[in-house]
Amino acid sequence: MAGANFSLLLLSLLFSISAFLQIGGGVASSRPRVCVIGGGIAGSSVSHFLKEYSGGAVDDIVILERNGVVGGRMATINLGGDIFEAGGTILHPKNLHALNFTTFLHLQRKVNGAAASSNSNASSPSSSWLGIWDGRGFVFKTLNPPPRSSSAIYKKIHSFLNALLIFRRYGFSLLRMNRFVQRMLERFLLYYKDLASRPVFGSVEDMLKWSDLYGLTRRTLREELADAGLSPLLISELVTVIMRINYGQDVNISGLAGAVSLAGSDPGLWSVEGGNWQIAAGLIKHANASLHLHEEITSISYSGGNYELSSKKGNHYSCGVVVIATPLDELNISFTPSVSIPSRNLQHTHATFVRGLLNPAYFGATSAAEIPNLVGTLEVANIPFSSISVLKIYSEEDKAYKVFSRLPMEDSLLDRIFSARKYTVRINWPAYPHYKAPENFAPYLLDGQHLYYINSFENAASTIETGAVAAENVARLILSRMLDISSSSSNIRTVSSGQRDLHVDL
Ligand SMILES: Cc1cc2nc3c(=O)[nH]c(=O)nc-3n(C[C@H](O)[C@H](O)[C@H](O)COP(=O)(O)OP(=O)(O)OC[C@H]3O[C@@H](n4cnc5c(N)ncnc54)[C@H](O)[C@@H]3O)c2cc1C
């Protein structure tokens, strides 16, 4: 990421910030306190980048987090003594911020599916054993995984045969799908270019236009893939399965979110050993931010050049800069003066974790061993779940599963799907935006002063990495505006009155 230009730029930025902070001016005459609402990847990354890019000159960062832990949608659950990721799980090999954070914080990476086990009798399932369920039967199944004791050559042959099987069903459309995803990834990689050749963006639109990704947010994934030459079969089966797993939505999702979701089926996916939430914890600690847990912010008022934040517990914080690092859509924060953002629905994903055994009869099988480790589903009305994946195999009769669904999984339904159930844990996630092309984006800067909103980027795509990428830009935007340097992206703008009907007042 860093080159010679970067060092020079950083030095001059550092010098100017230090000078600014000493002589006063701009937002405050002394070092402004930066208050960050939310301790997930967005809040922790913005704190990290503020500290790094200011060379430590921005040193009064307060993080307010309503939960008792940081990480937000990067969270783990305990299912009968074993810990599993409950929210954001997989990271792509090209998620460069997440990779850098993990190295820098001395965290261990694990390749997806190769979970470390405290129980030596337990094993990690092969996530490549996929079955596509249409509510009555499996319309497609990949090969049963090879036994764990198989030789490397046997495993290679097995993987080749699996690829042939998938190719026989979907043909050259698979290559077109891969090209579509790689093109998106190439453009996304521009966000890691050195600082000197990468502008500070005042809006999500400008950011996406610069990398030539904006067009993908204007049309549905279905339209984009049809233009890319994918067959209707691939779109209605494999692509649909991936969208339902990753975003709980169908192929009418907007194109960029869809492409990002498809990248989530690339090889080499990874996560942090012990839980991805540790990235947030490590960044917050390293930024030397003052973290206030169990502190839910309920109001933000601006007057006399300062923001006053009030919490549910009745505490008050005076801040020169405020960064909102959580989706505002389902929150009840009052703003004075009010701010206006496009209305957006969140897609709720119900994550249900079960330790037990699937019921073979439900799947028309004679034994649970015939049911693939990853059951994906088609967009058929009566299927009550989006996906079921095996997280860990304790024995042939005892496994840990993760079920994703759009609606809650009631006990009566689980008792039909599972023949045995020892432990059940449920989470109702306000998970990500319900994507709808063409997407509208809230501004990064909500009030023309110093109230910033990172999660407006989630309308492009919602992932751990996109949270970090948006946070890095917001950190640069804050620093550039503190120094009153006009951003290279010409228009830092608030919502125009012509757009008001699409907006909600907060
Ligand atoms: C089920 C599921 C699966 C996913 N799978 C993946 C995946 O495999 N890979 C991937 O990259 N991404 C995945 N994602 C998406 C990814 O987890 C999110 O995009 C990302 O973690 C969002 O981070 P964030 O910091 O922007 O928001 P959050 O993680 O939601 O953090 C916001 C924080 O703000 C806090 N907060 C909210 N309101 C207040 C308030 N009023 N006062 C104080 N604090 C407040 C919240 O408690 C929370 O901690 C998944 C998400 C879900 C739900």
Look at the chain and report how many structural domains it folds into.
2
46 within ligand 1 shell (Cβ under 6 A): no
CA distance 72 to 75: 6
Inside any domain, residue 326: yes
- Is the minimum distance from the CB of 470 to ligand 1 under 6 angstroms? no
Q: Which domain holds residue 484?
A: 1-76+86-108+171-337+437-506
CA separation (Å) from 23 to 31, 273, 483? 10, 45, 12
DSSP-based three-state secondary structure for 317:
strand
Indicate the helix (H) or strand (E) that contains 290. strand 290-292
> Which residues neighbour 391 within 8 Å (Cβ) at sequence distance 6 or greater?
84, 115, 125, 353, 399, 400, 401, 402
- Whether ligand 1 lies within 6 angstroms of the CB of 39 is answered as yes
Query: Are 240 and 331 in the same domain?
Result: yes
The CATH number for 327's domain is 3.50.50.60
> Residues in the chain, how many?
506
Query: Longest C-alpha distance within the chain, in Å?
Result: 77
- Choose one of 388, 406, 433: the last residue of a domain: 433
- pTM here? 0.91
Q: For the segment 307-332, what is each residue's pLDDT rounded down to a tens digit?
A: 999 999 999 999 999 999 999 999 99
Q: Do both 63 and 93 map to the same domain?
A: yes
User: Can the peptide bond before residue 93 be classed as cis, meaning omega within 30 degrees of 0?
Assistant: no
CB proximity list for 340: less than 8 A, separation 6 or greater: 495, 500, 503, 504, 505, 506
Identify the residue whose C-alpha is closest to ligand 1 atom 35.
38
Q: Which of 13, 33, 11, 12 is nearest to 309 (CA)?
A: 33
Residue 176 shares a structural domain with residue 305:
yes
Which of 381, 415, 433 corresponds to the end of one domain?
433
Evaluate the CA torsion angle 242, 113, 271, 354 in order and state its sign. positive
248 lines ligand 1 (CB under 6 A): no
- pLDDT digit string, tens, across residues 360-404: 999 999 999 999 999 999 999 999 999 999 999 999 999 999 999
Q: Same structural domain for residues 21 and 70?
A: yes
Buried-exposed string 462-472: b where 16+ CB fall within 10 A, e elsewhere = bbbbbbbbbbb
Q: pLDDT tens across 249-291, in order? A: 999 999 999 999 999 989 999 999 999 999 999 999 999 999 9
pLDDT digits (tens, 9 = 90+) for 172-206: 999 999 999 999 999 999 999 999 999 999 999 99
